[in-house]
Chain A
Amino acid sequence: MLEHAYLIPLLPLTTSLIILLFFKEDSHSPAPYLGLAAMFWCFVQSVVIFYGAASGASALPYEANWTWFSFAADVAGKGFTVPMPIGILIDGPASVMLVVVTLVSFLVQLYSLGYMHGDPRFKRYYAFLSFFTASMLGLVVSSNLLVTFACWELVGVSSYLLIGFWFEKPGPAYASKKAFMTTKLGDCGLYLALLLIWAKFGTFNITAMTVSAAMPGYLSTAAATAIGLGILFGAAGKSAQWPLFIWLPDAMEGPTPVSALIHAATMVAAGIYLVGKTYFIFVHSDIAMGAVAWTGLVTALLTATMALVAYDIKRVLAFSTVSQLGFMMCALGCGGYTAGLFHLTTHAFFKALLFLGAGSVIHAVHTNDMRQMGGLAKKMPFTFATMFIGTLAISGIPPFAGYYSKDMILEKVYAYNHVMFYLLTFAALLTAFYMFRMVFLTFVGDDRDHEKHHHAHESPWVMLGPLVLLAFLSFVSGFGLEHGGLFERLVNFKLPEGLVPETEAPAHLGLYVTGLVVASIMLSWRLYGRNDFRLAESLKSRFSILFSVLENRYGMDALFLGLVAFCDRVAKFAFWFDSSVIDQFFVDSWGLVTTLLAELSALVDNIFVDRTVDGFGGLSMDAGVLLRSLVTHGQAQEYLMYIAVAVSLFTILILSR
């Protein structure tokens, strides 16, 4: 299985092309089943690979490279050929990610059978889903950073296509553009980092780079910092970290299963995974590590507070995703390589669950606004139960998955920096608060919109099945993966000495945090759970300024729009300068001078030169005409006479000498 791992990205890619090119748009089209079959095969293969890795049967990392292209280079006067292989590298993190991505993608595709039923672009949807997954899988398995970058961009393209899937509506069209542009901004950083990597390492092969970077003194701190910050900026774009998180809440305009895919497995995981993949560079620079940690912390805090005031059920989940990604970033920055990727894995399960659950709710009530929901628990028991499990998991209640990963993160952060730990714990409390707020507003209490409540119904089994499976995974994946240090064994990174302080977190830290989380949930219950919103309303009116700041997302959107408007102004000014000053003044006036000079030259040419020439010509002609009239009458005897006279004259002349 391992030696055929290249099939994992190639199969969905082929599937998507086949669906796109050879299938007709038809609500009974077999396209979804083809996509599902391909994804199921990938999932099986991933599980086999993961099982081999977990049981120690197969030796990881496994690497295979094929020739892609090569080019001639000339370095310091010596020419040689540089090969650029394309290949796969399956290491511990990749084996885990493969299972996560293929499983979530499979479940999302299964779920979409119900959710997207009857959509006029059903086939195209499945083609895009396969393409999206293929891009992400390529990113995961690639052994070459250049290929990773290509897949990274393909992920961006597919997210653009899927967020803007209902492109005839202005919202999705705008959101897809926003997502694309924002992530592109981040990609500039990644691209610069790639250039630096090529300049520094002379290869994009990750294994070779790891070996080089491990040599003492090979990678200077300055170089590592520059490369790390570039990668971080790219990852911030893709994984929606501060300050580039603005696109993710808008990305909710896409179909809900797509949101689940983006948030759990494909798009936003890419940034974290890339930082993990290039971790060997980050560990050479305190600054880069610190930047990662603080970026994650700021993101986690800011977006957690934003989620407090959101009323759109998907927005709440979107903010929570960004916040959780902040946790992962923060963990990576604090040296918690295992913790960050562990949270990435568990988060994928419960966030996919939550999004698919939210999709189920939206499918039932046809609105995203939680103010029009309420009391849906009786109508949709399975959705409620599974979403409740997901909420417990994300809040970090033992023994659900989120507890283990979040606990691991907090321990690492505690060892790294106490202030950071308290702030991150606060973000974790906020997480529990807003997640339970969402559950209470949606499922508990009285129905606030009777008509919508009346028409609500439980979703079909094709949608509930994935929910149940994901709920099960949200329950078991925490202790299942932590059991016997399995995850630690698969995903670990030996940090250099002295990078992070060797402080041991106090015992039962997780329990203290859990206590606080429970208190936070109680508070949420007090405010939103008892069908009595007076306290919440009074708080809202008392801190209305704070609320409006949060609702406006700290003005980050306005800031970026302002930035765009400013760039627009600069561009307009540049255009004006170009057209009015450079074109009209310099280019055009220079042209004018040239024209004038040319006209002057033409004048001189016409008057003096040409007329002189013409004059000589005319003179010859006139002389010719004159002489002709003198001598030529067409009389042969006349000519003969001239000859005779001339001969006589010459004869006389010669004889007289």
Chain B
Amino acid sequence: MTLTHYLTLGAIVFLIGIFGALTRRNIIGILMSIELIFNAANINLAAFNRFLHPQGVAGQAVALFFITIAAAEVVVGLALVLAIYRNTDTVYVEDFSLLKG
């Protein structure tokens, strides 16, 4: 198991996240995809920390912060999703076009 493997895993997870965010119609799915993107970044952080600076903990600490922030972000995001759902009775993002110019 080398650094490359972890980075590859991170990239795959990131791309899955991007793909999900771009293609899912359900906004909950999009939120989950975004979580995947976060976690891809966290994998990368932990991997870099383990292989490049094994004696330090900065990367892991930042990853921990990111997990916390992601949790907070999901709270806000889900609150927004709920509010939108209450107003529009839908969870499909193509219907959210209020800001269309």
Q: CB-nearest residue of chain B relative to A635? A: B94
**Contact surface of B with A, Cβ cutoff 8 Å:** 18, 21-23, 30, 93-94, 96-101
Asked if residues A637 and B100 are in contact (CB atoms below 8 Å), the reply is no
Known contacts A644-B18, A644-B22; A637/B101 CB under 8 A: no
Residues 631 to 651 of chain A near chain B (Cβ within 8 Å) = 632-637, 640-641, 644
Asked if residues A637 and B22 are in contact (CB atoms below 8 Å), the reply is yes
Asked if residues B101 and A640 are in contact (CB atoms below 8 Å), the reply is no
Asked if residues A632 and B22 are in contact (CB atoms below 8 Å), the reply is no
Q: CB-nearest residue of chain A relative to B18? A: A644
Residues 351 to 408 of chain A near chain B (Cβ within 8 Å) = none
Asked if residues B93 and A632 are in contact (CB atoms below 8 Å), the reply is no
Residues of B within 8 A of A640 (CB): 21-22
Known contacts A641-B22, A644-B18, A644-B22; A636/B101 CB under 8 A: no
Asked if residues B100 and A636 are in contact (CB atoms below 8 Å), the reply is no
Asked if residues A637 and B98 are in contact (CB atoms below 8 Å), the reply is no
Asked if residues B22 and A635 are in contact (CB atoms below 8 Å), the reply is no
- Interface size for chain A: under 10, 10 to 19, 20 to 34, or 35 or more residues? 10 to 19
Asked if residues B22 and A634 are in contact (CB atoms below 8 Å), the reply is no
A628 to B97, CA, bound (A): 14
Asked if residues B101 and A635 are in contact (CB atoms below 8 Å), the reply is no
Asked if residues B21 and A634 are in contact (CB atoms below 8 Å), the reply is no
Residues of B within 8 A of A636 (CB): 93, 96
Query: What 17 additional pairs, Cβ within 8 angstroms, besides A634-B98, A635-B94, A637-B23?
Result: A632-B100, A632-B101, A633-B100, A634-B96, A634-B99, A634-B100, A634-B101, A636-B93, A636-B96, A637-B21, A637-B22, A637-B30, A637-B93, A637-B94, A640-B21, A640-B22, A644-B22
Tell me the minimal C-beta distance from B79 to chain A in angstroms: 17
Residues of A within 8 A of B100 (CB): 632-634
Tell me the minimal C-beta distance from A325 to chain B in angstroms: 103
**Contact surface of A with B, Cβ cutoff 8 Å:** 628, 632-637, 640-641, 644
Asked if residues B101 and A628 are in contact (CB atoms below 8 Å), the reply is yes
Tell me the minimal C-beta distance from A631 to chain B in angstroms: 9
Residues of B within 8 A of A632 (CB): 100-101
A641 to B100, CA, bound (A): 16
Closest 5 CB pairs of A and B: A634-B97, A634-B100, A632-B101, A628-B101, A641-B22
Residues of A within 8 A of B101 (CB): 628, 632, 634
A354 to B18, CA, bound (A): 132
A644 to B21, CA, bound (A): 11
A644 to B97, CA, bound (A): 20
Residues of A within 8 A of B21 (CB): 637, 640
Q: CB-nearest residue of chain B relative to A641? A: B22
Asked if residues A635 and B18 are in contact (CB atoms below 8 Å), the reply is no
8 contacts between A and B (CB under 8 A): A628-B101, A633-B97, A634-B98, A636-B93, A637-B21, A637-B22, A637-B93, A640-B22
A637 to B21, CA, bound (A): 7
Residues of B within 8 A of A628 (CB): 101
Residues of B within 8 A of A635 (CB): 93-94, 97
A435 to B33, CA, bound (A): 138
Residues of A within 8 A of B98 (CB): 634
Q: CB-nearest residue of chain B relative to A632? A: B101
Q: CB-nearest residue of chain A relative to B94? A: A635
Tell me the minimal C-beta distance from A634 to chain B in angstroms: 3
A641 to B24, CA, bound (A): 12
A628 to B99, CA, bound (A): 12
A636 to B98, CA, bound (A): 11
Query: Which of B18, B30, B101 counts the most chain A CB atoms within 10 A?
Result: B101
Tell me the minimal C-beta distance from B23 to chain A in angstroms: 8
Q: CB-nearest residue of chain A relative to B98? A: A634
Residues of A within 8 A of B94 (CB): 635, 637
Residues of B within 8 A of A644 (CB): 18, 22
Residues of A within 8 A of B18 (CB): 644
A342 to B101, CA, bound (A): 111
A296 to B98, CA, bound (A): 109
A640 to B30, CA, bound (A): 11
Residues of B within 8 A of A633 (CB): 97, 100
A634 to B98, CA, bound (A): 7
A344 to B93, CA, bound (A): 121
A632 to B101, CA, bound (A): 6
Q: CB-nearest residue of chain B relative to A648? A: B18
Q: CB-nearest residue of chain A relative to B23? A: A637
A628 to B100, CA, bound (A): 9
Tell me the minimal C-beta distance from B93 to chain A in angstroms: 6
Tell me the minimal C-beta distance from A629 to chain B in angstroms: 9
Tell me the minimal C-beta distance from B90 to chain A in angstroms: 14
Residues of B within 8 A of A634 (CB): 96-101
Residues of A within 8 A of B30 (CB): 637
A637 to B94, CA, bound (A): 8
Tell me the minimal C-beta distance from A625 to chain B in angstroms: 9
Residues of A within 8 A of B99 (CB): 634
Tell me the minimal C-beta distance from A627 to chain B in angstroms: 10
Residues of A within 8 A of B93 (CB): 635-637
A634 to B93, CA, bound (A): 10
Tell me the minimal C-beta distance from A98 to chain B in angstroms: 102
A634 to B22, CA, bound (A): 14
A634 to B97, CA, bound (A): 4
A644 to B15, CA, bound (A): 11
Tell me the minimal C-beta distance from B56 to chain A in angstroms: 28
A644 to B23, CA, bound (A): 13
A632 to B97, CA, bound (A): 10
Tell me the minimal C-beta distance from B43 to chain A in angstroms: 19
A633 to B94, CA, bound (A): 9
Tell me the minimal C-beta distance from B40 to chain A in angstroms: 14
A633 to B93, CA, bound (A): 12
Residues of B within 8 A of A637 (CB): 21-23, 30, 93-94
Residues of B within 8 A of A641 (CB): 22
